[in-house]
């Protein structure tokens, strides 16, 4: 989700007595950051008591766990797509932007892949991914700590740049030379030090205790990932920001759908859910998790079976890379404007401290 669009928001899952709308409080979102000390304690316990058994059992990155992909990343991307595509007024309003972005993705990653190296495309997507994740988190708290624009941008870009080097260090480590990896650690460490100094400078603008907590929670989000990366707990280094980001997004999606469909279902999904007496809270999470499981586990084989039967050809990873990759890129793009002030999404979001 876009940080700019969420900058004036405080979120808490609690019902308003006046209109029965859901509101999302800042304290609820702040609680998601408890994953940071939990992962740090796991790493320390592994060093102190378990002789590195946890480190040896974890994969080098979360993407090596199919279960991780089913639980994190893919479901919230699918949920975002469902939210946009299942509401006709949203789809109509953003139709032209979707068409143009689809053409751009085909051009860059289809035709462009013939001329642009895989590593260059990977680095570009990595940068966009890190920017998307961290801009959401910093932007969510912006309305609480109310930093001046220069202070917010300073913390944002230091966080994104440091996070980018950590991401590259984790996912490209096997293709990097030892000296290159050391340079990445050194650069990321320098950026983290600058982030700490900048946060100390900027925290005076946060006038509330909750604002300061959220500011430092976002700083620790980057610092903990860097620390776990250096300690070679790559799985945990990615798990920390991934869980916080995905859970934050789901809170917005569920609140939106509850407030939009609670009195009268507005699309076919919630019409059927109402007939089946399914609570609104579970419809989007359950449907997106089931779709993520089906596409990740059986999508490629089902697509290849159909393609082989109809055309006598097979296309490797058409679903797991092609379709889900397209949805991810579209998610990064659409979330930058669908939650802006004045958008139809925002009419169904209520906030409270």
pLDDT at 67 over 70: no
Closest CA to 134 of 288, 6, 292, 289: 6
Average pLDDT value over all residues in the chain: 87
Residue 4: per-residue pLDDT: 45
Q: Average the pLDDT over each of 56-65, 109-118, 173-182 and give the range with the smallest value.
A: 56-65
pTM: predicted TM-score of the whole model, two decimal places: 0.88
145-184: pLDDT as tens digits: 888 999 999 999 999 999 999 999 998 888 889 999 999 9
Best-predicted range by mean pLDDT among 50-64, 76-90, 107-121?
76-90
132-149: pLDDT as tens digits: 999 989 988 777 888 899
292-344: pLDDT as tens digits: 999 988 988 988 888 877 887 878 888 888 899 999 999 999 998 898 878 89
Q: What residue segments make up the domains of the chain, in order of their start?
A: 4-352
Residue 157: per-residue pLDDT: 96
Residue 64: per-residue pLDDT: 60
């Amino acid at each position: 989700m876009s940080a700019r669009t969420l900058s004036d928001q405080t979120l808490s899952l609690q019902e308003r007595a006046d209109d029965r709308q859901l509101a999302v409080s800042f304290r609820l979102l702040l609680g998601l950051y408890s994953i940071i000390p939990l992962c740090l304690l796991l790493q320390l316990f592994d060093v102190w008591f378990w002789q590195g058994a946890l480190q040896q059992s974890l994969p080098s990155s979360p993407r090596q766990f199919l279960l991780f992909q089913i639980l994190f990343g893919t479901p919230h991307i699918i949920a975002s797509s469902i939210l946009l595509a299942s509401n006709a007024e949203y789809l109509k309003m953003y139709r032209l932007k979707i068409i143009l972005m689809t053409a751009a993705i085909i051009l860059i990653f289809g035709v462009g892949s013939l001329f642009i190296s895989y590593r260059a495309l990977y680095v570009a997507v990595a940068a966009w991914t890190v920017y998307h994740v961290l801009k959401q988190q910093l932007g969510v708290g912006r309305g609480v700590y109310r930093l001046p624009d220069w202070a917010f941008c300073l913390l944002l870009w230091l966080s994104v740049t440091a996070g980018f080097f950590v991401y590259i260090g984790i996912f490209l480590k096997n293709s990097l030379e030892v000296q290159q990896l050391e340079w990445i650690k050194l650069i990321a460490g320098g950026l983290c030090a600058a982030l700490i100094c900048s946060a100390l400078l900027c925290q005076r603008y946060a006038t509330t205790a909750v604002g300061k907590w959220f500011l430092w929670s976002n700083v620790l989000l980057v610092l903990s990932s860097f620390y776990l990366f250096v300690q070679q707990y790559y799985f945990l280094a990615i798990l920390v920001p991934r869980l916080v980001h995905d859970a934050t997004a789901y809170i917005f999606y569920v609140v939106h759908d509850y407030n939009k469909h609670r009195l009268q279902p507005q699309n076919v999904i919630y019409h059927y859910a109402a007939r089946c007496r399914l609570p609104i809270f579970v419809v989007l999470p359950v449907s997106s998790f089931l779709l993520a499981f089906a596409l990740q586990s059986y999508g490629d084989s089902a697509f290849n079976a159909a393609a082989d039967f109809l055309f006598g050809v097979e296309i490797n990873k058409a679903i797991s890379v092609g379709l889900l990759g397209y949805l991810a890129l579209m998610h990064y793009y659409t979330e930058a404007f669908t939650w802006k002030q004045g958008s139809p999404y925002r009419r169904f979001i209520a906030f409270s401290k």
